[in-house]
Chains A and B, each alone.
Chain A
Amino acid sequence: MSFVWLTDVLATYDDDRPAHEYLGPDGEWVRLSRRELLREVRVAAAGLVGAGLRPGDRVAMVAGDPGPFVGAFLGALWAGLVPVPVPPPPLLGRREPWRELLDTVLSVARPKALCLPAAERELARTVGPLVTYEELAGAPPSEGGPVPRGPQDVVYLQFSSGSTARPRAVAARAGAVMANGLAIMREGVNADADTDRGLSWLPLHHDMGLVGFLLAPLAVGVPTSFLPTRSFVRDPGSWMRAMHERSATLTFAPNFAYALAARRSRPESVAALDLSRVRVAGCGGEPINREVLRRFTEAFAPAGLRPEAVLPCYGLAESTLAVTFPPGGRPLTVDRIDAEALARGSAVPAPDGVPDAGPVTEVVGCGSAFEGHGLTIRDERGRCLADRAVGEVWVTGPSVARGYVGDPEATGRTFGRDGWVRTGDRGYLVDGELFVTGRAKDLLIVRGSNTDPQRVEWLVEALPGARLGGVVACTRPAEETEELVVVVECRESAAGGLPAQVRSVLGEQLAMAVHDVVLVRPGTIPRTTSGKPRRQETRRRYLEGELVHVQ
């Protein structure tokens, strides 16, 4: 059977069934039928070709408002170009770090042109051709069919949203994108184009937004509603309100968004919603905190949200997007394990009902790898480990990429010639189900014990006065071993008692000694554009004495 690429699917969009809808600034939804979407794609393709771009050319696209971006991105695929989604400027302030990031991204991707909204033309200081979305929308539609693509062709570049200093671009191949998109929609969420509707506010320069809600649904014809990311950021309640209004059944977001949605929810607003149609509220992209998911499902239970709709998943851009999904319709799998054994690399179930049995850690199960894909846990030398032994997660299969663009060194470290990808994440398997415990490179290694920083950070940020998401755990070198340092953003009024509480909770819950508690003002901890704390950069600033302590 010949290979079917997304634009081949798009070419069949010649009816009036719903395709996309975009929330406009006036609060109204702009609806596109399949036929109208195809026309937009043809118009954008013609505009890009008219701007001098040819098949194989890279074109960077600022992924702000979904409406103009989606048409242009798909138009680029139609014309055989290689689009490169890049982050939009922040809504308010912090322009300079964004410009620096954009410069770095463009220096890696080296596109022929940059596409952006006319209103942002002045913000980018890029030299090189600029094409506005408004200009693209004015072209007469391209008459011909899509430029044919084979499964090995690189169809777009996906920058990883990791917390590393230098962003890396994964070269996404058509075959991998289709394999992953179909696995997500068929095996992962069991989608039905006639009854399901996806809804997303996720940034479209991230794999979860781009693959999860633009490319994968398109592959099987599931209609999708898009909110601008800023709608959610300015008003987190807009997410679940939109799920209700649009009768959406599928959504996804990282852990922090579920925390925010639950924290800002008001019972009287929740009571007015009907979320009983929601089949999948997927969670992935960062370590998953069981407590956060519990708070979210409790907050929205009065609206009919079923707890089993919450699906914790695992994936990474190096495998297009998703690797594991739990089977639908089952409650969360939570593994209660001995925290001290975990530090020694072993996930030993904690005895039930035994008082004073020692500290316990809860890890959420993320399901098993898609059919035809492989997932193993390995030690530092690449040897496969048994069930419940903690090591690095390695993945393989038709969804994985072959390398990063222009970075042979990182490609060599991550992508094996045998098709296995080293993810840099740590976890363990139980009967094929993956339990992720953290990132390998951030691991805290103190006196031979390994602890994932996220476990420390979750405990500390729950203390009164500490800021949610404003804690970094790292180590500093010492004579015999590394020592644990905890950097905490906190209110000045809470500063007095906090160090003792940090020491006490980590001693009790993780049996860890804390060598330094650094209290800093909120906003001090460096973050990625997606808001994740940059642990390595925080550690560097600590070691260089650059962190300003709260008095």
Chain B
Amino acid sequence: MTNQELLDLLHQGLHRVTARTFAPLSLQDKVDELGVDSLEMLELVAWAEEQTDRRVPDAKLHAVATVGDLCAVLAGAPVRTVLQ
């Protein structure tokens, strides 16, 4: 997926998870400043994982500070095999 596709997906996910509207995302946006709390943020990650059939390892999430970081870990995540 391209960065733009991932940005669109996360934008859609924010709306799905929070039922609020958000301005379009950019790679530079800081995740702490999106106006979502930590639980919603993890719901967003879970939703994006489901849509892309991927699973981001927990250790990779530690380094995420921007939306760009989140796109990168999603793009690089292994395809889900177990769980559920």
Residue numbers of A with Cβ under 8 A of B are: 25-27, 89-95, 119-120, 123, 228, 230, 233-235, 491-493, 521-523, 527, 531
Contact = CB atoms under 8 A, between A and B. Distances in A.
Interface in B49-73: 57-59, 61-62, 64-65
B1 interface: no
Given A26-B82, A94-B38, A522-B20, A230 B32 contact: no
A522 B37 CA distance: 7
A66 to B, nearest CB: 14
A120 B62 CA distance: 9
A195 B71 CA distance: 47
Contacts of B59: 119
B8 interface: no
A158 B79 CA distance: 40
B20 A491 contact: yes
B83 A27 contact: yes
A492 B39 CA distance: 20
B38 A90 contact: yes
A523 B42 contact: no
Nearest to A521: B35
Nearest to B32: A93
A492 B65 contact: no
Nearest to A264: B43
A523 B45 contact: no
26 contacts: A89-B62, A91-B38, A91-B58, A91-B61, A91-B62, A92-B38, A92-B45, A92-B62, A93-B31, A93-B32, A93-B41, A95-B65, A119-B59, A233-B39, A233-B42, A234-B42, A234-B45, A491-B19, A492-B20, A522-B20, A522-B35, A522-B40, A523-B35, A523-B37, A523-B40, A527-B37
B21 interface: yes
Contacts of A95: 65
Contact of A235 (B46, B62, B64, B82): B46
B42 A94 contact: no
Interface of B: 18-21, 31-32, 35-42, 45-46, 57-59, 61-62, 64-65, 82-83
A25 B57 contact: yes
Residue among A120, A491, A522, A523 with the highest chain B CB neighbour number at 10 A: A523
A95 B31 CA distance: 11
Contacts of A527: 37
A93 B18 contact: no
A92 B38 CA distance: 7
A518 B74 CA distance: 37
A197 B35 CA distance: 40
The 9 closest A-B pairs by CB, nearest first: A92-B61, A93-B31, A523-B37, A27-B82, A93-B32, A491-B20, A91-B61, A521-B35, A92-B64
A233 B39 CA distance: 7
A93 B40 CA distance: 12
Given A230-B58, A234-B42, A492 B36 contact: no
Nearest to B83: A27
B75 to A, nearest CB: 16
Given A233-B42, A527-B37, 6 more contacts: A91-B42, A92-B45, A119-B62, A123-B62, A235-B83, A523-B40
A95 B66 CA distance: 13
Contacts of B32: 93-94
A234 B46 contact: yes
A224 B38 CA distance: 28
Contacts of A492: 20-21
Nearest to B46: A234
A523 B62 contact: no
Nearest to A28: B82
A482 to B, nearest CB: 29
Contacts of B62: 89, 91-92, 119-120, 123
A117 to B, nearest CB: 10
A531 B21 CA distance: 23
A531 B41 CA distance: 13
A92 B31 contact: yes
A230 B62 CA distance: 12
Residue among A27, A92, A522 with the highest chain B CB neighbour number at 10 A: A92
Contacts of A233: 39, 42
A119 B63 CA distance: 11
A238 to B, nearest CB: 9
A528 to B, nearest CB: 12
Nearest to A525: B37
